[in-house]
Structure 1
Amino acid sequence: MTRTKRFIISLIVKVEFEIQRIEISLGHTNLLLIVKIFSVIHSLRFISTPQENDTEEEYDDHTLMRFATARSFRLDKTKEQLIETITWRDLEGIDSIPLPILNPGTPILYPKIYGYFGGNSVHKTDKEGRGIYIERAGYHDSKRLAKYVKQEELTNWHIRCQEFSHRVIMPELSRRAGKIIDKETVIFDCEGMGFHQLHLPSLTLYRAIAELDQKYYPGRLGKLFVVNAPFIFVKIWR
């Protein structure tokens, strides 16, 4: 094995690139894939605008890998999404917003929003050290949520929840695991779910949240489990 091959493979191991989905070997095809990955990550290091001078410090290999994976390692699309995310965080002051903890800067509306959800929390970790996020989706009061909460309010609440997970929970889990933890395992508990939750205004709210996650928080999902799903949910999912 040449020094170049060893270096490239060690880099991929370091950033934990979806190893379970790619069988790394020294074959010609896989080596070309690894070289492409290295090239994309290396190129992203040179993204620089007046607002992005701290990119090198804040966006490490793990972060760049998540963005690159989300865009199938197309360099132009990855750069576009990364720059949009950096610009959005800067314009919206995302890094300085109060997090949903015991903080006097947190809007009083947020505890009320929690009341419309069936309950959610991060409970323990999986075998890889990732937090297990449990969402009791079957008990969401979707109609009241759509009636009393505006899209902007729900979006701002969700952003704070995401930031709390990424800036507080994941760094602590990384410290405990002795490695970078930047994904989570999600369990959707559908017990209690029924047609009453197929409410168009609330589905519109949820869709906007999903689009925001895909755009600004790519690659955070490690594994997804759906449990206690009713028959209609299974048919729709398929």
Structure 2
Amino acid sequence: MFADEKRRRRMRSLRRKAISASTRITHTLKKHSKRLVHCRFESISTEEFLDEEEEKAVDAFRNDLIEKDLLPVRHDDYHTLLRFLKARKFDHDKTIQMWEEMLNWRKEFGVDYIIQDFVYDEYEEVQRYYPHGYHGIDKGGRPIYIERLGKIDPSKLMSVTTVDRFLKYHIQGFEKAFADKFPACSIVAKRHIDSTTTILDVHGLLVHALHDGGAAYPMKIASLSDHAIFEARLIDPMALLATASKQLELSESLETLKEINMKVSFSFSLE
């Protein structure tokens, strides 16, 4: 209970700092591009310059979504729209389809209210059998997320939670990151931050641990990436891919594995 309360106090403190700083910092982003008026963090001073062609693509995408009544206010954000366009290589029709699927998915899982409605009581026990969390930021200002896969105890993990609740916990983590962690990191970095650097520590990872059920959770979470579009950057990803390919005998092509970017973004649990 003490750990949970401490975590909640830290989150409240982070939120207050983000709100306070954003009201004090000038609208430098607007100065760099007067056309950029639909940005979630537009009051945050940044040092980034926007690509003109990307701006045109975002504007066209945004106008189309408005016409189709597919743009809720909470998603009316330049960088969010751009992230979806990049995910579908700026193919307008495919991006529209992806966007519609995202909205339907959020409605089905109640994602808009998951921060308030979902309570993960088994958090401490899950941490014991599936160590993971954030620790500092990288040189680019992105939050660093670490998963110690070699410390996973699949049987004990599945005795204290369920796949469904575990997924909801990570979805909630996505939402918290966008609501609190990324705005705070953007303030510090003076540029828009909406991705993480993810370190997957495979030291001690055994094949039998994955086949015993340990892989079920990461695989389920990876399936969320198309909906959450939560980009991550891995430390030494090729070494990890080589290890995973050998141990799990994955049949996917190397290019497919690289695409997992590893949108393997397992960047979910907040401090």
TM-score, normalized by length of structure 2? 0.63
Q: How does 1:30-179 map to 2 (within 5 A)?
A: 35=53, 37-46=54-63, 47-48=65-66, 52-55=70-73, 58-98=75-115, 106-117=119-130, 119-179=131-191
Instruction: Verify: 1:195 aligned to 2:207, yes or no.
Output: yes
Gaps of 5+ in 1: 1-6, 18-33
Identity between Structure 1 and Structure 2 (%): 27
Matched position secondary structure for 1:193: coil
Q: Please state how far the C-alpha of 1:165 moved relative to its aligned partner.
A: 1.9
Equivalent in the alignment of 2:229: 218
> What is the distance in 2 between the residues matched to 1:42 and 1:230?
38
Q: Please state how far the C-alpha of 1:163 moved relative to its aligned partner.
A: 1.7
Q: Please state how far the C-alpha of 1:112 moved relative to its aligned partner.
A: 2.8
Q: Please state how far the C-alpha of 1:38 moved relative to its aligned partner.
A: 4.1
CA distance 1:48–1:226, shift in 2 (3 Å): same
Matched position secondary structure for 1:72: coil
TM-score, normalized by length of structure 1? 0.71
Q: Please state how far the C-alpha of 1:148 moved relative to its aligned partner.
A: 4.7
CA distance 1:105–1:195, shift in 2 (3 Å): closer
CA distance 1:121–1:230, shift in 2 (3 Å): closer
Question: 1:115-144: CA deviations, max 9, x gaps?
Answer: 320x22211111111111111111111233
Number of residues paired by the alignment? 203
Residue type matched to 1:177 in 2? Answer: A
Larger RCO of the pair (alpha carbons < 8 Å, separation 6+): 2
Q: Please state how far the C-alpha of 1:183 moved relative to its aligned partner.
A: 0.8
> What is the distance in 2 between the residues matched to 1:41 and 1:69?
10
Residue type matched to 1:201 in 2? Answer: G
> What is the distance in 2 between the residues matched to 1:160 and 1:201?
23
> What is the distance in 2 between the residues matched to 1:193 and 1:53?
43
CA distance 1:77–1:200, shift in 2 (3 Å): farther
Root-mean-square deviation over aligned CA pairs: 3.3
Q: Does the 8 Å CA contact 2:115/2:176 hold for their aligned counterparts?
A: no
